[in-house]
Amino acid sequence: MKKTALIIQHFLLPDEMAVLEKDFRVIRIWKERDPETTIQENKDNIVVVISSLLPVRRSLIEALPNLEIIANMAVGVDNVDLEAARERSIVVTNTPAVLTNDTADIGLSLVLALARRIVEGDMYVRVGKWQNGPLPLGVTLTGKKAGIVGLGRIGLAVAKRLAAFEMDVVYHGPNRKEDQPYEYYDDLEKMAGDVDFLILCCAGGPATENLVTYEVLEALGPDGFLVNIARGSVVNEEDLLMALSNKKIAGAGLDVYTNEPYVPSPLLTMDNVVVLPHLGSATYETRTEMGRLVLENIQAHFNGEPLLTAV
């Protein structure tokens, strides 16, 4: 029996799927009528699990006695139970670096969309409101201050783009980055109080869960915008809904949510909120590169070669 790869999220493009299928029998779990039974019937042959954002839980890992590698097609691995993988010496890989610029571009798109009411303006024209008068004014970006949470690869790429818009950049994270020119805040609430845009670029997972609370949003204030290109879990979603309803912040641009692909329905009725369906890495070029890395990591593992991007 050919070794089996279990794919639990549909992100690999057809060319890369074809390459995978040369070496592995592939189970596409979303195509299975009864996924639990399929996993149970194939448990001894599944040596690879590929996901992106959907959870790879301890229960799945424990159900697969011969699993060797979890190749996550994402930079984030907060969806993978790393502890359960470590206990069984299962290799985990991700796809860093190749998605940095595209994800930063989505961050900037949200900043622009919020400040200049781009999405609202488009709707305004489509529904024929323009004839009744102009759209309310937006805000200038030049000279405004943005606070980045998580000055990693993506945060830095966002900072570079903000600088091109002549915005001031400051940042918060667990550590000051001595090699960066931006002002560091060790206190998130204090930084939120000093900025016009709070842009979340950090990793998800327990260390950043519910980092952005009602208090942080209150500090951001009625003229401040929140942009989240990190993970839904970084923001307390209840607090965000409350802050938006109470006009404690000016608006929010969101690419990520706590329970994707479900978006809290109150957000859908708010003109000052831009909602995207987790588009950070969603370009042909970047998804191709991510898929290539997934395949190369799997090949390296089974050839006994060094992994390209082990977690």
Question: Does the footprint of ligand GLV cover residue 155 (CB under 6 A)?
Answer: no
Structure token pair of residue 151: 């000055």
C-beta separation of 80 from 70 below 8 A: yes
- Are 186 and 170 a contacting pair, CB within 8 Å? no
Q: Which is nearer to ligand GLV, 125 or 207 (CB)?
A: 207
Site string for ligand GLV, 83-122 (x = CB under 6 A): ----------------x-----------------------
Stretch that binds ligand GLV, among 41-49, 68-76, 146-154, 217-225 (CB under 6 A): 68-76
* Identified binder of ligand GLV from the candidate list 258, 281, 286, 309, rule CB under 6 A: 281
Q: What are phi and psi of 93, to 5 degrees?
A: -125, 160
227 lines the binding site for ligand GLV (CB under 6 A) = no
Instruction: Give the one residue of 9, 60, 61, 76 binding ligand GLV; rule: CB under 6 A.
Output: 76
Shortest spacing between CB 216 and ligand GLV, in angstroms: 22
How far is C-alpha 84 from the geometric centre of its chain's CA atoms? 23
Strand order in the sheet with 183-185: 183-185, 168-172, 145-149, 197-200, 225-228, 251-254, 273-275
Positions marked catalytic: 231, 260, 278
Contacts of residue 90, Cβ cutoff 8 Å, sequence gap at least 6: 61, 67, 68, 69, 70
Q: How far is it, in rounded angstroms, from Cα 38 to Cα 246? A: 48
| 46 vs 74, beta carbon nearer ligand GLV | 74
Which one-letter amino acid corresponds to residue 5? A
Size of the residue set binding ligand GLV (CB under 6 A)? 6
Q: CB neighbours (10 Å) of residue 142?
A: 7
In this chain, which stretch among 25-33, 72-80, 139-147, 265-273 interacts with ligand GLV, using CB under 6 A? Answer: 72-80
Q: Which is nearer to ligand GLV, 4 or 103 (CB)?
A: 103
CB of 261 to ligand GLV, least distance (A): 13
In the list 50, 69, 75, 154, the residue contacting ligand GLV (rule: CB under 6 A) is 75
Q: Does 254 bind ligand GLV (CB under 6 A)?
A: no
Q: Is 143 left (phi over 0), alpha (psi -120 to 50) or beta?
A: left
Binding residues for ligand GLV (CB under 6 A): 74-76, 99, 280-281
